[in-house]
Amino acid sequence: MKRSIFLCAVVATFLSLSTTVSGSETNFVLYFSPADFSFEKVDGFDQVKMESGISSAEPGYPSLPTRFVQIAIPRDVEVEGVEVISSKRQELSGTYSIYPAQC
């Protein structure tokens, strides 16, 4: 089933994570720029692409890019928590018919 949805696209341009590891705090900062994203027309739909991103949607759901980030943690360290301490976003104007994920 094809779905047309209104997308008020939210692009995360800054994300700061704080990880508490065995009593000491470690911060990781991830940056995303609007330049990392592109739009392409495919079969009448808008396909959103992100540099180094993949679509993790189930077939039929909107195919939006995802980026997985792995952070190495020493084997003898216990993670006590992960917290997003700051984020910013930028809304893209317009109406989009997002390309549905395929199997």
Rounded-to-integer distance, Cα 58 and Cα 10, Å: 20
Confidence of residue 17 (pLDDT cuts 50, 70, 90): low
**pTM to 2 decimals?**
0.59
- Torsion angle (degrees, nearest 10) of CA 84, 89, 95, 101: -40
Q: Is the pLDDT of residue 30 over 60?
A: yes
How far, in Å, are 10, 53, 72 from residue 36 at the CA level?
13, 9, 24
Confidence of residue 5 (pLDDT cuts 50, 70, 90): very low
Cα 35 → chain centroid: 14
How far, in Å, are 39, 78, 80, 84 from residue 24 at the CA level?
41, 11, 10, 16
Q: Is the pLDDT of residue 44 over 90?
A: yes
